[in-house]
Amino acid sequence: MAVSTVNDVQIFNLSYGRAIPDWLSSNARRKLERKNIDVRRRIQLIQDFEMPDVSHTVNVSPDGRYVFTSGIYKPYMKCFDLNDLALKFERGIDAEIIKLLVLSDDYSKVVMLEDDRYLEFHAAFGRYFRMRIPRFGRDMAFCKEASDLFIVGNSSEIYRLNLEQGEWLPPLQSAAPAINCAQFSSEHQLFLCGTSLGQVEAWDHRDGTRVGVLPAVESLCSAEGSHLDYSQVTALAFRDPLHIGVGTSSGHVLLYDIRSRKPLLIKDHNNDLPIKKIDFARRDESTIALSMDERMLKMWDESSGRPIVAIENTMKFNDFVRYKDSGMLFFAVEAPRMLQYFVPLLGPAPKWCSYLESVTEELEAAQEESAVYDDYMFVTKEQLDELGLSALIGTPTLRAYMHGFLIDARLYNKANTLTRPFAYDNYKKNKVKELLHKEREQETIKKPTNLPKVNTALAAKLQEGMQLSKDMASLKGRDKQKVKKVAEAAQTILHDERFKKIFENHDFEVDEKSEAFEKVSQITANLAARKKPRVALQNDEMDSASGSDNDETFDLRDQENGEEDEQNGTKTAAFHSSSDEDEDLSMKVRRNAERMS
């Protein structure tokens, strides 16, 4: 979860952070949580709240218990139960869903408008009926009182389907060649539709007559300029029975009183992108308007047009819905993962996630504690005397803290500049002296090494193993074979093309903090501890009988154990496990070389 504050308004992004795969083990999950603070703060509000590729629509059922989402690819419709915070069911659809309406209070009756000119009805058990419409649809609205479904689209006709009788009613004839959006008011039974001519038509569905027209684009051109005469009406929303919001394809939102042809307010998004959806959130003293285009969701004051805050994202927005009487927002975006935001300004957290209130308060308190001292400096009594600010002790300017005081950083910087004008020059001189002193201490110049950047320690050990082959002339029998075998293995790993990526690709880097590496290191240490006493006895015998052939009395049992370990492991693991034996062999090589000389 991430929190941002704009204009003293907090926005909590509940979808922030990386998604954790379901197949990840519990140990790996805990390890990731320890390393990454974003994973620890991640909140999975609704489990698997995502689509295969892109999400198009999001809706909340009237009873507030279910969330319906749709997307592609493949076309899917999903239903989430908010009481369980998990997926209730998902169903495959034949085509992409343009609009989804919940006809009942729960999930039992749903209708979907698809882009292949089909209407699809679903019941609780699954698909109920599928029928074709005459033209491609763009939006639809439902009248509960008459059980009429209004469908608008690429036609001047407004199709009406009575769901109680199961028959088509005579269509309403619009003056526009196409209709983009539709909205129905349950208070006064007024049906509104936004046309491609930039007008809002109002219809009384009871007698099928058009009762009024609002020329939205004409009002927009008269206020903003005639260059916007191409605009169309793309979004409609009722604030209350008498006030509506109209969104245009030019990125403007107009607020109307339906009793007047003149808009109350014109709000410009300044993005030149079509308005996709409008909503209103009523507060105690004012109403906040929410308008969304594909780039951002803007929140602004409905009476004055003053911007409050905006929600932006790297993905394009397709749809959003606000949970009733709360500050919870769900977004359908051009990405598999759907977004969830919580804005306390719009309302409290819903009852099914009431714990969000305490979580956000704790996060806010933690941020305040971490940032409370950013504007203050800690000074002692002696530092106050040097700055000449001792007279401020006991005043609100200084706050007693531990063995000193907290002072405003701006006042401290100003006093420091006035009392010590040459402090920077002295700091500069001291810094130059330190640099010169460091250069003088570096008596030897480091020679550049040819070691790779990946697995540097492993490459250094392998090069040491290759160096043993140069001093191999003084060895005899099994010792000589052992050194030769180690040197050949080291040379193979360093120069063979099959092992090239070990020293180039970071994916093959040896993690010395891993559990497997620690086990191998412990086994190697135990083997070395058992072999050290035997090697010490052999060294004493060699010193007492110089020039004798007792050098070959190496412990064959330990040597055979080492060879078995080497055969069972890979070449790199064998080299790590035999590093201590190589050190003993190198010591013997040097001793024999000294005797022969």
- Is 433 in the same domain as 518? no
According to the model, what pLDDT value does residue 591 have? 61
- Is 236 in the same domain as 255? yes
Contact 197, 175 (CB under 8 A): yes
Please report how many Cα atoms fall inside a 13 Å half-sphere around the Cα of residue 433, on the Cβ side: 6
Q: Is residue 19 part of a domain?
A: no
- Is 526 in the same domain as 558? yes
According to the model, what pLDDT value does residue 531 have? 59
- Is 159 in the same domain as 210? yes
Q: Is residue 537 part of a domain?
A: yes
According to the model, what pLDDT value does residue 269 have? 86
Distance in angstroms (rounded) separating the CA atoms of residues 324 and 65? 11
According to the model, what pLDDT value does residue 449 have? 56
Distance in angstroms (rounded) separating the CA atoms of residues 491 and 470? 13
Report whether pLDDT(446) > 60: no
- Is 166 in the same domain as 256? yes
Residue 384 backbone phi and psi in degrees, to 5: -65, -40
Q: Which of 202-211, 364-373, 467-476, 481-490 is predicted least confidently?
A: 364-373
Q: pLDDT exceeding 90 applies to what percent of the chain?
A: 16
Question: Which is higher by pLDDT, 46 or 542?
Answer: 46
pLDDT bin (cut points 50, 70, 90) of residue 292 is: very high
Question: Which is higher by pLDDT, 188 or 427?
Answer: 188
Q: Is residue 215 part of a domain?
A: yes
Sign of CA dihedral 553, 554, 559, 561: positive
Residues forming a β-bridge with 71: 55, 76
Residue finishing a domain among 446, 469, 495? 446
Our count of domains for the chain comes to 3
Long-range contacts at 361-370 (CB < 8 A, ≥ 24 apart): 363/1, 363/3, 363/12, 363/41, 364/3, 364/10, 367/3
Sign of CA dihedral 331, 333, 338, 339: negative
- Is 500 in the same domain as 541? yes
Residue 245 backbone phi and psi in degrees, to 5: -115, 135
Q: How far from the centroid of its chain's Cα atoms is residue 264's Cα?
A: 40
Please report how many Cα atoms fall inside a 13 Å half-sphere around the Cα of residue 427, on the Cβ side: 5
- Full domain range(s) for residue 575: 456-596
> Under 8 Å CB-to-CB from 138, ≥6 apart: which residues?
98, 99, 152, 153, 154, 178, 179, 180, 181
Q: Tell me the average pLDDT across 150-168.
A: 90
Residue finishing a domain among 242, 275, 308? 275
Residue 433 has a CB neighbour count (10 Å cut-off) of: 10
Catalogue the E-assigned strands of 463-581: none
Distance in angstroms (rounded) separating the CA atoms of residues 11 and 472? 71
> Under 8 Å CB-to-CB from 25, ≥6 apart: which residues?
none
Looking up residue 231, the CATH number of its domain turns out to be 2.130.10.10
- Is 183 in the same domain as 253? yes
Residue finishing a domain among 402, 424, 446? 446
Q: Which of 235-239, 443-447, 459-463 is predicted least confidently?
A: 443-447
pLDDT bin (cut points 50, 70, 90) of residue 110 is: very high
Q: Tens digits of per-residue pLDDT, 179-232?
A: 999 999 888 889 999 998 888 999 888 888 888 888 888 888 887 776 677 888
What is the C-alpha radius of gyration for the chain, rounded to an integer number of angstroms?
38
Question: Which is higher by pLDDT, 579 or 155?
Answer: 155
- Is 434 in the same domain as 552? no
Question: Which is higher by pLDDT, 356 or 349?
Answer: 349
Residue 396 has a CB neighbour count (10 Å cut-off) of: 6
Distance in angstroms (rounded) separating the CA atoms of residues 576 and 514? 15
Q: Which of 299, 328, 321, 303 is nearest to 311 (CA)?
A: 299
Question: Which is higher by pLDDT, 596 or 415?
Answer: 415
Residue 243 has a CB neighbour count (10 Å cut-off) of: 17
pTM (2 d.p.): 0.58
Report whether pLDDT(163) > 50: yes
Distance in angstroms (rounded) separating the CA atoms of residues 170 and 340? 42
Q: Is residue 419 part of a domain?
A: yes
Report whether pLDDT(353) > 70: yes
How far CA 27 is from CA of 33, 128, 349, 504, 515, in Å, comes to 10, 46, 33, 29, 12
- Is 193 in the same domain as 260? yes
How far CA 70 is from CA of 19, 135, 137, 318, 333, in Å, comes to 20, 22, 17, 11, 11
According to the model, what pLDDT value does residue 575 have? 43
Determine the straight-line distance between the first and last CA of the chain, rounded to whole angstroms: 73
As to burial, measured by CB atoms within 10 angstroms (0-12 exposed, 13-18 middle, 19+ buried), residue 404 is: middle
- Is 149 in the same domain as 231? yes
Distance in angstroms (rounded) separating the CA atoms of residues 102 and 106? 8
Q: Is residue 250 part of a domain?
A: yes
Structure tokens at 258: 């339906």
Report whether pLDDT(62) > 70: yes
As to burial, measured by CB atoms within 10 angstroms (0-12 exposed, 13-18 middle, 19+ buried), residue 182 is: buried
- Is 504 in the same domain as 578? yes
Distance in angstroms (rounded) separating the CA atoms of residues 328 and 12? 10
According to the model, what pLDDT value does residue 535 have? 43
- Is 438 in the same domain as 541? no
Contact 80, 46 (CB under 8 A): yes
Q: Is residue 500 part of a domain?
A: yes
Give SS3 for 536.
Answer: helix
Report whether pLDDT(239) > 80: yes
Look-up of token digits 């209407």? 119
Structure tokens at 297: 């969701």
How far CA 102 is from CA of 65, 124, 288, 501, in Å, comes to 12, 12, 25, 57
Question: Which is higher by pLDDT, 103 or 576?
Answer: 103
Question: Which is higher by pLDDT, 154 or 402?
Answer: 154
Residue 71 backbone phi and psi in degrees, to 5: -175, -170
Distance in angstroms (rounded) separating the CA atoms of residues 572 and 578? 10
Give SS3 for 550.
Answer: helix
Report whether pLDDT(565) > 70: no
Contact 415, 387 (CB under 8 A): yes
Residue 458 backbone phi and psi in degrees, to 5: -65, -40
Mean pLDDT of the chain: 78
Report whether pLDDT(545) > 60: no
> Under 8 Å CB-to-CB from 254, ≥6 apart: which residues?
216, 219, 220, 245, 246, 248, 263, 265, 266, 267
Distance in angstroms (rounded) separating the CA atoms of residues 397 and 399? 7
**DSSP character for 19?**
P
Dump the DSSP string for 216-239: HHHHHHHHH-GGGTT--EEEEEEE
Q: Which of 161, 81, 95 is nearest to 127 (CA)?
A: 95
